[in-house]
Structure 1
Amino acid sequence: MILGILKEPQDESRVAFLPEAVKTLLSWKVSVWVEKDAGSKAFASDELYQSIGAEIHNRNEVISQSDLLIGIQPISEVEISSMKPRAVLMGQLNALYNPELTKYLIENNRTAFSMELVPRTTRAQAMDVLSSMATVTGYKAVLMAADLLPRFFPMFMTAAGSITPSRVLILGAGVAGLQAIATARRLGASVFAFDVRQAAKEEVLSLGAKFVDVEGAKEDKSAGGYAVEQNEEFLQRQKDTIHEHASKADVIITTAQIPGRKAPLLVEERTVKVMKPGSVIIDLAASSGGNCALSQPDKTVEINGVRIVGVGNLAAKMPQDASKMYGKNYLNFLKLIIKDGNINLNFEDDIVQGTCVCHDGKPVSSRIQI
């Protein structure tokens, strides 16, 4: 069996597998073909892949000859059509946000796995690419904010007087939010955090932040740890509370997203207008609609001296460790579908079933609605 590793688009620095992960694949009696320069932006040369036994080929060869084709970003319909008839495609295909591609895969009898669909269960934790990349994103967002902020994060006692710590407000205490809290605390900031899930309160407090409480949130245990949509009465109380805290904040980092839906609006235009000049908003949900009313995907805008950064693929800013984590998630998942050097799809396994977009012309994951 040939496992192909693709080079990502121009704006993506990560690679699905670094050479250290390819070593493991080779030990599974799998031939590994790597697209030329696939790992170059993650500082993994073609020579390094070749030195451990992988083969370097051009893109057309990798796509047309692989039995299992793996990347991170989706590939085009034209490239999918050039794959082997029974080949398996795997990546972060954004199956819930990209219905056209999902429909194409189903109509063309392709077998595809989309890693953002990995169930949020204890057993699947080691395969959860969203959590891994959220860790990178939460960390990097704080460093970005610290770089843009025109003042220190920590408190300083100097001969020139005392400097008070910056006040950081984190909206959303999932994986990205908790990593942002931990990083901001390590940098010495005074940190406040909000989440609609009461279960997040204990984690926020354990990291040394203060929890911003808004009573009356609706929760759903079946949501896999994600927030769920709230009623209008709660949303207004939430916006008023955030407005009050935001007016005192030096930095706001927003991380709240709902799978398959537009990101909830948390920071209104009126809120931005009362923030202090020099303040910074990092919106990690900008690509799915934005938590801030004024954010724009992959752009920085300035309103009344407040800089609003609409973050896209922030994990690509740390390609080495992000690729390492991604590859480990992939390896843990591939253990479920590679047996004796061949693909063996067991749809009785809840993780395999839950992650599979389609097989034999039919949707497989219960989350795929076509």
Structure 2
Amino acid sequence: MKIAVAKEIDPAEPRVAASPDTVKKFKALGVDVAVEPGAGVKSGLPDTEFTAAGATISADALKDADVVIKVKRPEASELGQYKRGAAVIAIMDPYGNDAALKAMADAGVSAFAMELMPRITRAQVMDVLSSQANLAGYRAVIEAAEAFGRAFPMMMTAAGTVPAAKVFVMGVGVAGLQAIATARRLGAIVTATDVRPAVKEQVESLGAKFIAVEDEEFKQAETAGGYAKEMSREYQAKQAALTAEHIKKQDVVITTALIPGRPAPRLISLDMVKTMKPGSVLVDLAVERGGNVEGVKSGETSEVDGIKIVGFPNLAGRVAASASGLYARNLLSFIETMVDKTSKALAINWDDELVKATALTRDGKVIHPNFQPKSS
């Protein structure tokens, strides 16, 4: 069995799908690993580190590979290099990308979307959304601190006292919780909000104050899978009024709200931005899905009346070495379930709940029930 580690063709993607540590573990399973030249350079992993771990470096790494691992979904130009029947595992971003799914089906590959991994106990170690969001939440605070022209912690000096920064985190999933923890470590006064009542205790356990309209709808605002539900217009209006009043007093706002398969909900209007003090900073983690903040620009730090709106996509990629290491372990744990320990061959169990949840294409067809072509 051969696993190929593809080099990302997107110049804005610095992560890589393997690490020397996971290469060693694949080799221990009896699997051959081939890496495209330079695949890990942007993550601080030169080819020599992969070869030292037992991988081969080859421009033909993808040829005849049974499994191809990537960070981002393969482009059409890459698919021609994969053999038919190969398993291709990546962060596929399948929602709204029907043409890309059809291209993978037409190429005859079995495509698996890591971000569709079910949130069950045995799959926790494979949860790419959590591993990458954790780092994105951390990096959001670092970006905010860099853009903010003042110190985060309170400082008492002979020349006077520097007040602690006030940080408001909107959306308390994995990214939001890490943002709270990081801002607290830097000495900020932190508040947070979310539509899911279950996170209130988590917020308070990190030393932050929870802000929300806690009515009956709020008490029912979580799906069985632990995601936030889309709220009614009435609730959104009440929450927006509370938020509008609260952000006037904040120095930094970090927004993380995403609903799977939908555009990012708009949480902060331009009018709300303008009520903040000059020098304040907003960091929008949802910019790749349209953004939570009106006026955010992908890949830029824009300014409105002296208030900075940071819209960097792929914040986890800005901590590429750490992000690659965690993602590589997510992939290793998933692929281990697909290897026959006796024959050392690829043996996908298509009845496994992990496979059913993540498999997008097989035998020339799109098979995932959520992404069936409209005609069917």
Q: Into which bin does the TM-score normalised by the smaller protein fall?
A: over 0.9
The residue number in structure 2 matching 1:27 is: 28
The residue number in structure 1 matching 2:257 is: 256
Offset at residue 109 of structure 1 (A): 3.4
Query: What residue identity is the alignment partner of 2:354?
Result: I
**Partner Cα distance (1:78, 1:177) in 2:** 36
Offset at residue 4 of structure 1 (A): 0.2
Instruction: Give SS of 1:203's match.
Output: helix
Summarize the alignment of residues 265-280 of structure 1 with structure 2, pairs less than 5 Å apart. 265-280=266-281
1:152 aligns with 2:154: no
1:345 aligns with 2:348: yes
Q: Say whether the 8 Å CA contact 1:169–1:249 is kept in structure 2.
A: yes
The residue number in structure 1 matching 2:66 is: 67
Task: For residues 279-328 of structure 1, give each alpha carbon's deviation from its aligned partner in whole angstroms, at most 9, with x where no partner exists.
Answer: 00000001101000111111111000000011201111111111110111
The residue number in structure 2 matching 1:48 is: 49
**Partner Cα distance (1:121, 1:243) in 2:** 36
Counterparts in 2 of 1:260 and 1:192: CA distance versus 1, 3 Å: same
**Partner Cα distance (1:297, 1:342) in 2:** 43
The residue number in structure 2 matching 1:323 is: 324
The residue number in structure 2 matching 1:125 is: 124
Offset at residue 255 of structure 1 (A): 0.3
The residue number in structure 2 matching 1:3 is: 3
1:99 aligns with 2:98: yes
Query: What residue identity is the alignment partner of 1:221?
Result: T
Offset at residue 245 of structure 1 (A): 0.9
Q: Say whether the 8 Å CA contact 1:277–1:306 is kept in structure 2.
A: yes
Q: Say whether the 8 Å CA contact 1:46–1:56 is kept in structure 2.
A: yes
Query: What residue identity is the alignment partner of 2:5?
Result: I
Q: Say whether the 8 Å CA contact 1:255–1:283 is kept in structure 2.
A: yes
Instruction: Give SS of 1:116's match.
Output: helix
Offset at residue 365 of structure 1 (A): 3.3
**Partner Cα distance (1:206, 1:324) in 2:** 28
**Partner Cα distance (1:109, 1:44) in 2:** 31
The residue number in structure 1 matching 2:80 is: 81
The residue number in structure 2 matching 1:289 is: 290
**Partner Cα distance (2:211, 2:23) in 1:** 45
The residue number in structure 2 matching 1:207 is: 206
**Partner Cα distance (2:316, 2:53) in 1:** 27
Q: Which moved more, 1:339-348 or 1:100-109?
A: 100-109
**Partner Cα distance (1:133, 1:149) in 2:** 24
**Partner Cα distance (2:107, 2:37) in 1:** 28
Query: What residue identity is the alignment partner of 2:223?
Result: K
Task: For residues 106-153 of structure 1, give each alpha carbon's deviation from its aligned partner in whole angstroms, at most 9, with x where no partner exists.
Answer: 344321101111112222111011110001000011011111111111
The TM-score with structure 1 as length reference comes to 0.96
Q: Which moved more, 1:120-129 or 1:250-259?
A: 120-129
**Partner Cα distance (1:51, 1:196) in 2:** 48
Q: Which moved more, 1:260-269 or 1:36-45?
A: 36-45
The percent of aligned pairs where both chains have the same amino acid is: 43
Cα RMSD, aligned residues only: 1.3
**Partner Cα distance (2:197, 2:33) in 1:** 46
1:37 aligns with 2:38: yes
The TM-score with structure 2 as length reference comes to 0.95
**Partner Cα distance (1:137, 1:79) in 2:** 28
Query: What residue identity is the alignment partner of 2:177?
Result: L
Q: Say whether the 8 Å CA contact 1:336–1:352 is kept in structure 2.
A: no
**Partner Cα distance (1:82, 1:15) in 2:** 18
**Partner Cα distance (1:51, 1:175) in 2:** 34
Q: Say whether the 8 Å CA contact 1:353–1:364 is kept in structure 2.
A: no
**Partner Cα distance (1:52, 1:271) in 2:** 52
Summarize the alignment of residues 219-238 of structure 1 with structure 2, pairs less than 5 Å apart. 219-222=221-224, 224-238=225-239
Q: Which moved more, 1:47-56 or 1:274-283?
A: 47-56
Q: Say whether the 8 Å CA contact 2:91–2:114 is kept in structure 1.
A: yes
**Partner Cα distance (2:7, 2:80) in 1:** 18
Offset at residue 176 of structure 1 (A): 0.2
Offset at residue 181 of structure 1 (A): 0.1
**Partner Cα distance (2:205, 2:372) in 1:** 39
Aligned residue pairs total 367
Task: For residues 63-95 of structure 1, give each alpha carbon's deviation from its aligned partner in whole angstroms, at most 9, with x where no partner exists.
Answer: 232111111012221321331111111111111
Q: Say whether the 8 Å CA contact 1:285–1:311 is kept in structure 2.
A: no
The residue number in structure 1 matching 2:163 is: 164
Query: What residue identity is the alignment partner of 1:25?
Result: F
Query: What residue identity is the alignment partner of 2:259?
Result: I
The residue number in structure 2 matching 1:332 is: 333
Counterparts in 2 of 1:4 and 1:108: CA distance versus 1, 3 Å: closer
Query: What residue identity is the alignment partner of 2:360?
Result: V
Query: What residue identity is the alignment partner of 1:37?
Result: G
Instruction: Give SS of 1:302's match.
Output: strand
The residue number in structure 1 matching 2:361 is: 358
**Partner Cα distance (2:350, 2:317) in 1:** 32
Instruction: Give SS of 1:281's match.
Output: strand
